Structure 1
Amino acid sequence: MSAVQIYDATLRDGQHAVRHQLGLAALRGYAVAADAAGIPVVEVGHGNGLGASTLQAGQAAVSDDLMLSTVREALRSSRMGVFMLPGWGTSGDLRRAIAHGADVIRIGVHCTESSLAERHLGFLRQEGAEAHCVLMMSHMATSAELAEHAARLVAYGAHAVGIMDSAGHFLPADVTERIGAIHDAVDVPVIFHGHNNLGMAVANSVAAAQAGSTIIDGCGRGFGAGAGNTQLEVLVPVLERTGFPTGIGLYALLDAAEFAERELMPAVPYTGSLSIVSGLAGVFSGFKHQVLDRSAQAGVDPRDVFFELGRRQAIAGQEDLIVDVVAELSVRAGVGVGVEAGSA
C-alpha cells in the first residue's frame, strides 16, 4: 500500500476551539513537538486562514506575520503549511506567507466554486510555490461534481487536491465514494480532511486512504471546533496497522499530543450533543461559539439554530446568517424546529 503523508492542522484548525487565541509560546512549543515526531507538514494560522483576523470571523491573539515567523523558526525538518480562503486572504497575504518560508500553501473553496481558486493558484504557480486546493463542505456536492471540480483545480495549477468534511457529516461509505471518484479523475495526490461530529473521523480517514488518498489531515488530541478534527495520535497508528506507513515516531507523536492537551486547549474535544446536531445538519463546526452566544442571548435552542442553518445550506464565511436565524427563531419562540423537522 502507498505511504500516507500526514498534514497537521493543529495550529490552524485548532484555533476555532479557542476563538483564535493561541499565543506565541503555545505555537512555538507545539511546532517543536510536531517537528520532533517527524510530522511532514505543520500548518499554522487563524482558523479561517490568512487575512481572516476580523471582527466577523474573530480576531486572533497574534498577527499572521508573527504566527508564521514563530513556527518557521521552530521547525527544523517539518515543512510549514498555511491556508487561505479567497475573500478573507489576498495575493498579498500569499506573497507574505511565501516570504516567511511557507512550504505548502492551501487554498480552500466551497465545493462547487472551484473557479474562485483559479486566480490564486495561478499566482502560486508563477511564484513556484507548492499549491494545494481543498473543496470545503464537500457533503453538499455529488461524487461526480467533486471529481469535476477537482480536475479543474489541477488544470489551474494545484499540485494536490481533495475534500474537507467541514461539517463532520460523512460516514466511511460516503468518503470511499467521493475520494475514489476524485482519485480516478486526477493525477495528483488526493487530500482528505475530517471532522469528528459523528465520531467517524478516524474511520473516515482510513476509508480515504483505502480509496486512494495519500495526504490526510489530523490534529493533536483532535484539537478543533465542536467535536474536533481527526485525532492525529490515533490516526497514525491505525493507518500503520492498516498498512499505510507514515514515517512518524509514535512516542514523539504521543508527546506532541500531550503538549497539545496541556498547553493548547481548555478541554479535549468530544462528540457532544451540539456537535452531533451540527454533523447531522451539515453545518460548519466553526459556527459553534457564535451559535451558542447568540442563542443564549435570545433564549432560543441552539440545536434549532443549527438545523435551520443546515436547511439554508450555510457555509463558512456566512456567519451573518446566524444572526438572522436566531432573530427569526426568537420571534416565533415556542414553535420549535427540533430533530424531527431538522431531519426531514
Structure 2
Amino acid sequence: MTISIYDPTLRDGNHAVSHSLSLEEISRYCRAVDGCGIDVIEVGHGNGLGASSLQLGIARHRDTEMLETARANLTRSKLGIHMIPGFSRLSDIDTALRIGVEVLRIAAHCTEASLTESYIEHARARNAFVQGVLMMTHMASAERLLIEASKLQAYGANAIVLMDSAGHYDPDSTHEKLSLLVKEISIPVGFHAHNNLGLAIANSLAAAKAGATVIDGCMRGFGAGAGNTQLEVLCAVLERYRFETGVNVFELCRAVESLSDIAPVKTPTIVKTSNLISGLYGVCGGFEKHVTRAASEFRVEPRKIYEELARCNAVAGQEDLIISVASRLSQSDATV
C-alpha cells in the first residue's frame, strides 16, 4: 500500500518556537526537503491561516510572506496550509490559492464538522484539493467520528484527516477509529499524531495498518507540546514494514543533517513531564506554553491547570480559558 507523507514541520512546529520561524528558515527547509519525496509541505502560524493574534500568539511574519517564501522554494513537493474557520476567512482561501497553495486542510473540533461546510464548498468551487480535518479526536467515539467525517465528505472534501491533538491515543484506539473510517468512507483517510505519551510512531504505524493512506510527520518531531511523529523515523519505519511512501529516507537524513542550525532541527523535542500530564488528561498539546506561563504567574501547579482544562473539555482555540482557570485555582488554593 502507498502512503502519502504530509509534513507540517513549518506549521505545527511554529508552536514550538512561539510562531517565530523566520523566512530564511522556511526557505532553507523547503529547499532541503523538496527532493526527498515528501508529498506536501505545510506552512504557517501554528494555529493556521489567519490565526496570528494576541490570544494565540503573533507570528513573526504574515501568512502571505511565509507562503510566498515556501512557494518560491518548492518545485516537487506540494504546498499546503491549515485553516480553522473563525480564525481564517473565506477570502484567505482565495489568497492562498492565488499564491499557489495546492492542498488546503480545513479543520474543526471533532464534533463540529458543520463549521467547515462553507469553507470546503468555497474551496472546491475553485477546484482546490481539500482535506477535511477533525481535531482533538480522542474526545469522540469512533461512531461519532464517522458521522462527522461523513459530513466532511458530503461537503466535498477530497480526504479526511483525524488529528490526535492531545497525544492521547494508543495503538488500539488508533486502529479502532481509523479502521472504521477506512471501511465506511469512500475517500482517503489520514492521521496526525502527537507524542505526549511517546506513542506517535506506534500510533502512526497502527493507522497505516488500519488503511490510512495519508500520515503526518515533522522533522525531528518538531511540533506543539511533546512534538509530532518524527518524520525521518516514520519514513524508515514505514519502509521497514514495506509500505511505499516515495520518500528517499537517506536523502531525508541528509536534509536533517544539513539543517542542523535551524529551529526544526536544533530545537530539542522531548516528552517533558508537562507534556506527559497533558497527554494523560487529553488536553491540547498547543496549550503547553500558555499553561506554563499561567502556572508561573498565578503560582499554581501546572498539573492542576491541565486537570481543570480536561474537566472543562477545553479545545484548541480556547487559550484564554487557561488564564481564568489558573486565576480561579490560585484563589481556591489561597482559601485552603
Normalising by the residue count of structure 1, what TM-score does the alignment of the two structures yield? 0.95
Please name the residue that 1:59 is paired with.
Answer: 58
| Cα separation, partners in 2 of 1:317 and 1:260, compared to 1, 3 Å | farther
1:117-132 pair list within 5 angstroms:
117-132=116-131
Correspondence for 2:300: 300
What amino acid maps onto 1:100 in structure 2?
I
Which segment is superposed worse, 188-197 or 250-259?
250-259
Residues in 2 aligned to 1:335 and 1:263: alpha-carbon distance in whole angstroms: 47
Q: Deviations over 1:48-82 (max 9, x none)?
A: 00000111010000100000000001001110000
Q: Determine the C-alpha separation between the residues in 2 that align with 1:272 and 1:52.
A: 26
Say if 1:10 and 1:223, in contact at 8 Å, map to a contact too. yes
Local SS of the residue matching 2:91? helix
Residue pair 2:283, 2:315 contacting (<8 A) in 1 also? yes
Corresponding position: 1:26 with 2:25: yes
Q: Is the 8 A contact 2:136 2:315 kept in 1?
A: yes
- 2:97 — aligned with what? 98
Aligned length: 335
Work out whether 1:198 is the aligned partner of 2:205.
no
Unaligned runs of 5+ in 1: 337-344
Q: Residue 8 of structure 1 aligns to which amino acid in structure 2?
A: D
AA aligned to 1:287 is: F
Contact persistence 1:4–1:215 (CA under 8 A): yes
Q: What does residue 87 of structure 2 align with? A: 88
2:176 counterpart residue number: 177
- CA 1:287 to 1:261, structure 2 compared with 1: closer, same or farther past 3 Å? farther
Structure 1 position 259, deviation (Å): 4.7
Cα distance in 2 for partners of 1:22, 1:261 equals 15
For structure 2, the 5+ residue unaligned runs are none
What are the within-5 Å matches in structure 2 for residues 67-86 of structure 1?
A: 67-86=66-85
Question: Separation in 2 of the partners of 1:261 and 1:142?
Answer: 41
Question: What's the offset of the Cα at 1:184?
Answer: 1.4
Structure 2 equivalent of residue 115 of structure 1: 114
State the Cα deviation string for residues 273-314 of structure 1 (Å, max 9, x = none).
000001001011111111101110111111111111011110
Q: Deviations over 1:144-166 (max 9, x none)?
A: 01011111110100000020000
Name the aligned partner's letter for residue 14 of structure 2.
Q
Deviation, structure 1 residue 334: 6.6
Q: Quote the offset at 1:37 in angstroms.
A: 1.1
Is 1:282 the counterpart of 2:282 in the alignment?
A: yes
Equivalent in the alignment of 1:339: none
Structure 1 stretches of 4+ with a deviation exceeding 4 A read: none
Post-superposition offset of 1:264: 1.3
Percent identity between matched residues is 47
1:258 Cα deviation after fit: 3.2
CA contact (8 A) 2:192 2:204 kept: yes
